[in-house]
Amino acid sequence: MGPWKDYSGRTSPLKLVVFAALFGPALWTALAFFMGWLQPQPFTAAIREIGLWTIRLIFIALAITPLRSIVQWPRLILVRRMVGVAAFAYAITHLTLYTADQMFDLAKVASEIVSRVYLTIGFTAVIGLSALAATSTDG
């Protein structure tokens, strides 16, 4: 069953639109990277863009439940998990781009994470998102 299907197995227009929209920022960032629009430091700009979209998606996922009550749209809850898992995917992409920027020197990446408080907080958040994504199943 695809992520654009609802629990009855039918295609949900809401889920289909949200699923497609979740790819937009990553595709734009990849296009900008390969077209040279992220100069003078393309890796740094791509890391920043993907990191900003990670935070935005986390906030959107957290806002879905109260927004569902405010706008009286119970089906909005169908996309919460999709947005949350996308936030995890963006966080992993962010970490992967950072590692690529450090020439895949994992010892350097680990020492940077330990020595810089903001990287420690971000890495802890990725670990938390990993646990949430791993347990986010229909089962």
Q: Which residues contact 67 (CB under 8 A, 6 or more apart)?
A: 73, 76
Q: What is the pLDDT of residues 59-106, one digit of tens each?
A: 999 999 999 999 999 889 889 999 999 999 999 999 999 999 999 999
Q: For residue 101, what are its two tokens?
A: 């920027």
Q: Which residues contact 129 (CB under 8 A, 6 or more apart)?
A: 58, 84, 87, 88, 91
pTM comes to: 0.92
CA 138 → CA 53, 111, 115, 133, 134, distances in Å?
A: 26, 37, 39, 12, 11
Q: What is the pLDDT of residues 41-72, one digit of tens each?
A: 999 999 999 999 999 999 999 999 999 999 99
113 φ, ψ to 5°?
Answer: -65, -40
Q: Which residues contact 85 (CB under 8 A, 6 or more apart)?
A: 133, 136
